[in-house]
Amino acid sequence: MSPAPASEQGSTPTTAPAPSTGRLTGIDLARGLAVFGMYAAHVGPDPSVGGPLGFVLELARGRSSALFALLAGFSLVLITGRPHPRTGRAGRQAVGRILIRCVVLVVLGFALTALDTDVDVILAFYGLTFLAVLPLYRLRVRTLAVIGAACALVMPQVLYVVRQSIDNGDWADSVIRWDPLARISDTDGLVELLFTGEYPVLTWMPFMIVGMVVARLDLGRAEVRTRLALAGGGLAVLGYGGSWLALRLVPHAHASIAAATDGDSAASAWWSDTVGYLTDGSPAAWLLVAAPHSQTTFSILGNTGVALLVVAGCVTVTARMPRLTRLATPVAAVGMISLTAYVLHILAIHVVGMEEETVPALAALFVFIATAMLLATAWTRRFRRGPLEYLLHSTTRVTRHIK
């Protein structure tokens, strides 16, 4: 999740054209949709309701968090310099701001996790993923793209091997015992953030790296937006279509997945979240699944494709359709205060007790979305940052003293 609004302020080299407001409004719009997707996944009806509503709800599962991660990579580039990375003192200060944000996100993530809601809080994972991709911020677009592709191809296999080694050995327990983060947070600490959690850093790095690539593109050009949409569509087809073919062509793959899950979900493992999550005992055939939380190469490709399609659509709307852009202003406003909107919805779930289904799911989703739009619209008419965004920005002011 992005800790900074798309309008993050900062100097850029005088030789580089400044990104247009419309371009950044498109990113805020995409971020707002990601927030609503997270709401749908956490308080909305189960996708099993079927029909168009069930399809939309299924799309929100996992893919909204992937969109958040991609947009977080975009924000990292906004902070470190767009379209060209800052150097010298300005570059060191930007790195300092990112490091402080990483720490704040990890602390905030563990604090929200301590509320013990049914939500798998993503902020701590995002914070550590920020740290993991930060060394790449000066690289060129093509180099970033190659590294992102390599991570998508390699990291899921590495994660699978690590998870199997955790299941078959006790090295992870030793790490956890000596990990101060694990003791402070009463979690598995770095082992959870890197390997065993719901959003492991190893397989979420590609999303942020792709977001960094997108941030370096001139999204004001129609041909760039078109290529972005085509790339997104191609990746979605490659990810979900490739998984569909693999599960049917690889001998015993479908049967292995069916035996490791509830059976009925195996048929839709090429795209649906109903198949569940990667576990320590998942068979090797799991690597052919493309469910949004499966942590596989196919899922990364598919989720990235969907995220790119959303970004391309949003920046196109804000660039070409002013009337529709005005209608979507409340959604973009939510995107401007996305960290606040995310944290508040978890606090609301904790206070109201949504996990106990005290409120009809569809009504709860409507209330969450409507409330977020009303509050965000009112707030952004007077302030450029959300409350938590402002506090996060304030904590980074100390970097002004970096020489």
* pLDDT, tens digit, 9 for 90 and up, residues 74-117: 999 999 998 889 999 999 999 999 999 999 999 999 999 999 99
The number of CA neighbours under 13 Å toward the Cβ of 303 is: 37
Domain assignment of residue 8, yes or no = no
Q: Which of 295, 320, 345 is the last residue of a domain?
A: 320
Residue 331 pLDDT greater than 90, yes or no: yes
Co-location of 67 and 205 in the same domain: yes
The answer on 217 and 228 residing in a single domain is no
Instruction: Report residue 227 as tokens.
Output: 């290529």
140 within domain boundaries: yes
The pLDDT > 90 percentage for the chain reads: 73
| Residues 267, 301 within the same domain | yes
204 occurs within a structural domain: yes
Domain final position from 291, 320, 349: 320
What pLDDT score does 257 carry? 85
Burial of 91 (0-12, 13-18, 19+ CB in 10 A): middle
Is residue 312 predicted with pLDDT exceeding 90? yes
- Asked if 203 and 351 sit in the same domain, the reply is yes
pLDDT band at 18 (very low <50, low <70, confident <90, very high): very low
pLDDT of residue 261 exceeding 90, the answer is no
Encode pLDDT of 342-363 as tens digits: 999 999 999 987 655 656 889 9
Query: Averaging pLDDT over each range in 50-54, 169-173, 185-189, which range is the top one?
Result: 185-189
Q: 329 lies in a domain?
A: no
124, 105 in Cβ contact below 8 A? yes
Given a cut of 80, whether residue 158 has pLDDT beyond it is yes
Give domain status of residue 160, yes or no.
yes
Where does the pLDDT of residue 214 fall: very low under 50, low under 70, confident under 90, or very high at 90 and above? very high
> If DSSP codes are grouped into helix, strand and coil, which group holds residue 106?
helix
Residue 296 within a domain? yes
Same domain, 204 and 300: no
Say whether both 35 and 126 belong to one domain. yes
Indicate whether 298 and 361 sit together in one domain: no
Q: pLDDT grade, residue 258 (50/70/90)? A: confident
The answer to the question of residue 9 being in a domain is no
**Nearest 5 degrees, angle CA 226-CA 229-CA 233?**
140
Q: Could you tell me the pLDDT band of residue 271, with boundaries at 50, 70 and 90?
A: confident
**Residue 236 in this model has a pLDDT that exceeds 50:** yes
168 and 237 co-located in one domain = no
Burial of 55 per CB tally in 10 Å (0-12, 13-18, 19+) = exposed
pLDDT of 47 reads 85
Domain boundary among 257, 288, 320: 320
The number of folded domains in the chain is 2
The answer to whether residues 207 and 238 belong to one domain is no
Q: Which tokens hold the place of 402?
A: 């970096």
310 inside domain: yes
Q: Is the domain of 100 the same as that of 132?
A: yes
Asked if 310 and 213 sit in the same domain, the reply is no
Range of the domain at 306: 223-320
Which residues fall within 8 angstroms of residue 227, CB to CB, at 6 or more apart? none
Say whether both 126 and 268 belong to one domain. no
Residue 16 has pLDDT above 50, yes or no: no
